[in-house]
Amino acid sequence: ENLTNKIAAGEVVERPASVVKELVENSLDAGCRDILVEIEAGGRRLIRVTDDGGGMSREDALLSMERHATSKIASDDDLFALSTLGFRGEALPSIASVSRFTLASRRQGSIEGTEIYAEGGRIKEVKACGMAEGTAITVRNLFFNTPARLKFMKSAETEAGHVGDLLTRLAFSRPDVRFTYINDGKTVFRVLNGTLEERVAALLGRSIAGALYPLDASVEGVTVRGLVARPDVSRSAAGHLYTFINGRFIRDRVVQHAILQAYRNFLERGRYPIVVIFIEVPAGEVDVNVHPTKHEVRFRQQGVVHDVIQGVIEEALRPTPW
């Protein structure tokens, strides 16, 4: 059982950023409005994710440490209509199996919380605790019992950068949620809840705020929303591509090609796209769950998806003649 968790950890938990991803996605699934992420020493010493979501009862908290104890699949059909980000019930036991793990959670309306402490996946202590409603998960000494993994960790700076990139993407996907990221006691960013425009400006720089144009198109069940920065207005040399499919950050060949096509005239002038785009397709039209950590998808109607994206961006970039 514990070995299985350690093996699963090899797939799910590659580095500190993958731990943060799983924990923050759980927080979002729990309906939180506020997420605090703290790391120390690039996440190697400490990773803590605190949320104000629904929380867990003592029983649910204990259950969550068991393999395949997801609360997110009610029937087989749900597997094909995923509205939550998690669905395999592997993340918590996997992370716990390769760290010193503390889960503290208090369900909304409950008088106290529960704290569970585990080492290398073995539960050592369960006790009641006072805390705010929500959940706080602390992961210390990641990979302390898997030296091979530990060797693959990069410098604290590099790992902290990966966490920052990941949190930026997650923060774009949910502008309605407040995010705070603290690295070694310093606040890297704190973004309040608001519109997508506000979030993009807060994270990519106020200078592009005035250059943002909305995207909105829907063709044959494929919906595209988001923002592009007009490169003639933004004066930004660097490009930023944030692409989400059905709420998940994805780097997809077809989507990227469509964006670059739409920007081709600007690319020739050395201006790169700044695009935050949300593509929604019916669940059966896209295969996203090939692997929990893969950023890849397969569209059934590639051509339609490509043309909607290219078309809507070209439209947004059109008004100013070059």
Nearer to Mg ion, 26 or 234 (CB): 26
Q: How far is the CB of 128 from Mg ion (least distance, A)?
A: 25
Nearer to ligand ADP, 91 or 316 (CB): 91
Q: Which of residues 281-310 bind ligand ADP (CB under 6 A)?
A: none
CA quadruple 12, 101, 193, 167: dihedral, nearest 10 = -40
Q: Which residues contact 67 (CB under 8 A, 6 or more apart)?
A: 1, 4, 5, 8, 89, 90, 93
Nearer to ligand ADP, 62 or 254 (CB): 62
Site for ligand ADP contains 18 (CB under 6 A): no
Site size toward Mg ion (CB under 5 A) is 3
Residue from the set 43, 86, 175, 273 that interacts with Mg ion by CB under 5 A: 86
Residue 153 interacts with, from ligand ADP, Mg ion, none (CB under 5-8 Å by kind): none
Q: Which of residues 43-102 bind ligand ADP (CB under 6 A)?
A: 51, 53-56, 64, 69-72, 86-92
Output the CA torsion sign for 169, 305, 283, 291.
negative
Please count the residues of the chain: 322
* Cβ contact 232:274 at 8 Å: no
Q: Of 20-28, 51-59, 130-138, 218-226, which segment contacts Mg ion by CB under 5 A?
A: 20-28
Nearer to ligand ADP, 5 or 146 (CB): 5
* Cβ contact 240:274 at 8 Å: yes
Q: How far is the CB of 39 from ligand ADP (least distance, A)?
A: 17
User: In 57-185, where do the E strands start and end?
Assistant: 100-106, 113-119, 122-129, 134-140, 178-183
Looking at residue 88, the DSSP 8-state letter turns out to be S
Binding residues vs ligand ADP (CB under 6 A): 22, 26-27, 30, 51, 53-56, 64, 69-72, 86-92, 135
